[in-house]
Amino acid sequence: MTGELKTKLIETKKAWARAGRLLTGKTAEHGVDRLPPGQRLVENWPVLDLGIQPHVPRDDWRLSVGGLVETELAWGWDDLLRQPQVEMVSDIHCVTQWSRYDNRWTGVTTRHLAEMVTPKPEARFVLLSAYDGYTTNLRIEDFLDEDCLLAHAHDGEQIEREHGGPVRLVVPRYYFWKSPKWLKRITFAAEDKPGFWEERGYHNVGDPWLEQRYE
């Protein structure tokens, strides 16, 4: 995607936020209704990004974790694979109105990562940065949900570049913009800092069952 189209995409989605596009005004209970309000089910996996799909070879990938932690760390690909590996199945809900059921992820849980770095008591938020310059933010309790993980495989295959490989975050309970591709840095912080889409009118939390598409 060219830089011009990237700018057009961003301006279009900012206009969606201003206009409240796709909002239905409905809410649902998480765990009761599997398909959140306003969503449609798809079987393919649509590709959405900022117009940049960085090429990050596995041997060059590095994840740094710091901020308000007792022990900072930096993982390469082999370091990630040496951690306890888990397999989890979860649904994807994109703010652009599509959902995909039963995605099988392989990776390392965010809880294990937290055990490795030990966040300080004053750490209340997690700030996330990606290799394409994308950023987003989460409350620490949401980052540490039991089904959140640093994923390197999807449905038994390594995650492709277009979907955020070699490593992306997966936070199933929120719209998928909260699960950044091409994960590069995780920072534990006392203060919140809105990320790329949050600064452009998107909701700071992003719960699809409450239809928190925009502020």
Residues 13-52 have pLDDT tens digits of 888 778 777 788 878 777 678 999 999 999 999 998 888 8
Q: ∠110-113-114 over CA atoms, to 5°? A: 90
Q: Is the pLDDT of residue 3 over 60?
A: no
Name the band, by pLDDT with cuts 50, 70 and 90, for residue 7. confident
Average pLDDT over residues 183-208: 98
Nearest to 65 by CA among 186, 200, 191: 186
pTM of the full predicted structure?
Answer: 0.91
In CATH terms, the superfamily for domain 3-210 is Oxidoreductase, molybdopterin-binding domain (3.90.420.10)
> DSSP 3-state assignment of 144?
coil
Residues 78-108 have pLDDT tens digits of 999 999 999 999 999 999 999 999 999 999 9
Residues 131-143 have pLDDT tens digits of 999 999 999 999 9
Is there a cis peptide before residue 166, judged by omega within 30 degrees of 0? yes
Q: How many of the other CB atoms lie within 10 Å of CB of 114?
A: 19
